[in-house]
Amino acid sequence: MSSIRKHIAGISPGRAVEGSVASAPMLLSLFMTLLISTGIQAQDQPLPLDSVLQAIRRNNPMLQQYGLRAKAQDAYAEGATSWMAPMVGGGVFMLPYSPQNVERDERQGSYMISAEQDIPNPAKQRAKQNYMKSKAAIELAKAGVAFNDLRAQAKTAYYSWVVLEKKLDVLQDNARIMEYMLKLARIRYPYSQGMLGSIYKAEARLHGVENMEQMIRTQIAQQNVQLNTLMNLPKEQSFRIDTLVHMPEPVALTADTAALYNNRSDIRQLDRTIQSMRLNVEQEQLERKPDFRLRFDHMFSRNTMMPNQFTAMGMVSIPIAPWSSKMYKANTKAMNLEIEAMQRERESILNEAQGMVYNMALALNEAHHHVHNYKEKILPALRKNYDVTMLAYEENSAQLPEVIDAWEALNMAQMEYLNNLQDLYQIAVNYERELEK
């Protein structure tokens, strides 16, 4: 932009006077314009990345389903201590098949009502309740894993939008430069100071920049839709983002296993699953404890000369019998083996994550070096080359194709710089995803 202003000022006939004298009405108009623009910006604040992530955590349906599933497991746990429904019945007792052959009245039987209740073992119920509650913790851990994925998607879309905005600024700047060069070429052509082919070449470059601008705007709209989808907002809703995000800095080439263990949600999910399986083992081991049952029968004699009778029974199961203990012993052994397998899986995940974090740190530092090189060395050199070529063209010591070549070299370097910047952001997102930041 500074070079454009300098070039425009270079062809302005009264630039010295306009640059040194400013009337009071012009200053007042400029001041009012700044106030109005400041008010508009205050009303249309950009949406920072932190607000996007908070909206995702609050509104995303995928995360909400895990909370509902956790509540469902808590509801299941509330019913774990309930008893079985009582059984009641009625019928006859000691009624002979052939009453006409019965000689004695007391052998005519009775009417009977019966009630029966299973009494579960309280220790088994508590173990089952704890096991059901542990499943709720697993669902909440799954929500952490899902949010880590959604957070990485949101950061990718947000940073891509930031880079696209920078590309759009570069393209708009390049379009103004090309328009300026085209204007100079058209002015000089009637005086035989330029070639007609150079004018057409500049026009083609200008239209190419316009096509790229349209493509970039479409990609920005796509990132807007992606973020709206993650935040569960209307897809057509538009907003601005904060493009003043910090470029990722180099990181230390270390991979702390303890930090990975404490931060990663997938490890927490495995730990919750292992804990749940251990509670399930405890529940299965309690199958060796007995259960109880009460039964009461009351008989009304059909013969009024006979008294009413009742039967009361208490029963207890014997699960330690060899033919019944085999099942819970086998189940306990199988669950312990599954727990051991999941512990090995956790070790494997930590080992793999440690290697990935180290490799990503190397890639992040390398990408930062490339971006820094472009920003501090390559782009300034190419910009100076363009400025020198443009100055020579203004002084009629260079041709328009040379200026276009210098502009194209600068433009390509700017786009390559932004592509490298986007790669740097993406590597940083993947690095933070592994570290669960």
244-288 pLDDT, tens digit per residue, is 888 888 888 776 777 778 888 889 999 999 999 999 999 988 888
Q: Is the pLDDT of residue 320 over 90?
A: no
Poorest-confidence range of 20-24, 152-156, 388-392?
20-24
pLDDT band at 137 (very low <50, low <70, confident <90, very high): very high
Question: Could you give the strand order of the β-sheet that contains 309-316, starting from the edge strand earlier in sequence?
Answer: 87-93, 110-119, 292-301, 309-316
Q: Is the pLDDT of residue 366 over 70?
A: yes
pLDDT band at 6 (very low <50, low <70, confident <90, very high): very low
Per-chain mean pLDDT for the chain: 82
Confidence (pLDDT) at 194: 55
CB 175 within 8 A of CB 158: no
- Confidence (pTM): 0.76
26-56 pLDDT, tens digit per residue, is 444 444 444 434 433 444 688 999 999 999 9
Distance CA 356, CA 239 (A): 35
Poorest-confidence range of 30-44, 145-159, 187-201?
30-44
pLDDT band at 190 (very low <50, low <70, confident <90, very high): low
Cα separations in angstroms, 395 against 11, 66, 127, 200, 391: 11, 70, 90, 22, 6
Confidence (pLDDT) at 117: 93
The tokens for 223 are: 């990132």
pLDDT band at 431 (very low <50, low <70, confident <90, very high): very high
Q: Domains, the chain, ranges and CATH?
A: 54-82+133-288+322-435 (1.20.1600.10)
Distance CA 385, CA 379 (A): 10
Specify burial of residue 271 (Cβ count, 10 A radius: 0-12, 13-18, 19+): middle
What does the radius of gyration of the chain's CA atoms come to, in whole angstroms?
Answer: 40
CB 433 within 8 A of CB 154: no
Confidence (pLDDT) at 94: 83
Q: Are strands 292-301 and 309-316 parallel, antiparallel or unpaired?
A: antiparallel
**Considering the chain, what percentage of its residues have pLDDT values greater than 70?**
84
Q: Are strands 110-119 and 292-301 parallel, antiparallel or unpaired?
A: antiparallel
